[in-house]
Amino acid sequence: MHLLQIMGNKLNIGGQAVIEGVMIRSPNYAVVSVSKGKRIITKKEKVRQRKGKFYKLPVVRGFYNLVDMMKIGMRSLMWSAEQQAGTKEEKISKAEMVCTVIFALGFAILLFVAIPYLATLFVGFKEETQPFLFNLIDGLIRILIFLGYLAAISLLKDVKILFQYHGAEHKAIHCYEKGKKLEINNIKKFSALHPRCGTAFIMIVLVVAILTFSLITPIILGLFPSLATMHIVPRKIVLFLVRIGFIPLIAGLSYEFLKFSARYEKHPAMKVLIWPGLLMQKITTKEPDSRQMEVARTAVKNILKLEKQKDI
C-alpha cells in the first residue's frame, strides 16, 4: 500500500495489491483491476475528498489519509474477493467484512502491542523508571514479531501471489513516475521495491512508536502522580490503554516523516533511514509475471484516463 503520493509535476498515485489484482488510487479516483480467467476486469470509483483546513493540518492529515486508504483498500479487497468467488453464496457480505476487520484489528493489537508489552514486563524492565529502555526492548520485540509474521505468511501460496501483485504495482508506478511508456517491456525493468510503500510506513511506525511511548510514559506519570501509587494491575491497564489512544498520533507523525523522506529520498542520509523499509519489502514483494504486470498496467492506465477526462 502507498500511503503517500508526492510526485511534483506527475499525477500523484499510489495503491496496493488485492486478490488477483491491483488497486491504484489518485487524488480523485480509485481503480481496481483483477485477473478473472482470461479477462482483466476493472472497477472505478470517485474518492470522497475531506474538506476543511483541519484535515490539512500536519499529523492530522496523516491519520485521516491512513483511514481513507484503509477504507478504500478494504472495499477494493472485498470486491476483488467477490470476483474470484464461484457462486453468489461464496461472496462476502458487508457484515462478514466488518467482522473480519474488527477481528483483524483486535488480532493486530494483541500480537503487535499487547504481547510485546507483556513480554517486556516479564523480562523485568520497568516502564515507570526506565521508560526509554523499556520501550526500546518493547519496540525491538514488536519488530521481531512483525518480521516473523511476514516471513511466516510469505510461505503461503496465496500470499506469495499477493506479494507478486504487490511487486507488479510498484513496477508499474515506477514506470509511470520515470516517464516511460506503460508497456510490459518497460515495466519489467523497474524494481519491485518502492520507498513510499506501506511496508516502509509500518517500519517507520514501529520506530516512531519507540520514541513516542518513551516520552508519553513520564509525561502521563508527571501529570497524574497518583498513578505511581496505584496497584500494578490497574496501573498497567491504564498505561496500556494510553498506548492504544496514542496510535493515531504515531500514525500521523509517521506520515509526516514519510512525506519528508519522499522529498529528500536521494539524499545520502535519507537513503540510510529508508533502507530498513526497503529491506522489509524484500519479504512483501515478489517478482511478478507478465500477466500480473499487465493487470497493474491496466489499473494505472485507467486511473490516468479518469484524471485526464476530469481535466477536459
Nearest CA among 128, 312, 107 for reference residue 218: 128
Higher pLDDT, 52 or 297: 297
| 148-172 pLDDT per residue, tens | 999 999 999 999 999 999 999 999 9
Domain of 219 in residue numbering reads as 14-117+124-311
Q: What is the pLDDT of residues 239-281, one digit of tens each?
A: 889 888 998 999 999 888 888 887 777 788 887 878 888 888 9
Least confident among 32-41, 136-145, 226-235: 226-235
Residue whose entry in the numeric block shows the C-alpha cell 529520498: 265
Residues 111-115, mean pLDDT to the nearest whole number: 89
> 266: Cβ–Cβ under 8 A, 6 or more apart, which residues?
none
Answer whether residue 2 is part of any domain. Answer: no
Query: How many CA atoms lie within 13 Å of 29's alpha carbon, on the beta-carbon side?
Result: 21
H or E stretch including 247? helix 247-263
The residues near 217 (Cβ < 8 Å, ≥ 6 apart) are: 127, 128, 131, 134, 135, 239
What span, in angstroms and rounded, lies between the C-alpha atoms of 14 and 170?
9
**Residue 272 counted as domain residue:** yes
Reading the block at residue 127, the C-alpha cell is 516502564
Q: Tell me, yes or no, whether 1 lies in a domain.
A: no
% of the chain exceeding 90 in pLDDT: 39
For residue 278, the number of C-alpha atoms closer than 13 Å in the C-beta half-sphere is 13
Q: Tell me the mean pLDDT in the region 31-47.
A: 93
pLDDT of residue 3: 46
Residue 109 lies in a domain: yes
CA dist., res. 44 & res. 194, Å (int) = 24
Per the CB < 8 A criterion, the answer to whether 172 and 297 are in contact is yes
Nearest to 17 by CA among 101, 65, 81, 63: 81
Per-residue cell: 276: 530498513
Mean pLDDT of the chain: 87
CA dihedral over 269, 273, 279, 284, signed as positive or negative: negative
Does the residue 7 lie in any domain?
no
If one counts the domains in the chain, the total is 1
Q: Residue 1: how many CB atoms within 10 A of its CB? A: 22
- pLDDT above 60 for 8: no
Does 4 reside within a domain?
Answer: no
In a domain, 146, yes or no: yes
Domain assignment present for residue 301? The answer is yes
* CB contact set of 157 (below 8 Å; sequence gap of 6+): none
Axis-axis angle for helices 198-223, 247-263 (nearest 10)? 130
| Confidence at residue 263, expressed as pLDDT on a 0 to 100 scale | 79
Per-residue pLDDT of 73-99, as tens digits, reads 888 988 998 888 765 555 666 677 778
Using alpha carbons, list the distances in angstroms from residue 31 to 5, 46, 260.
15, 9, 27
The one-letter amino acid code at 120 reads T
- pLDDT higher than threshold 70 for residue 2: no
What is the Cα gyration radius of the chain? 21
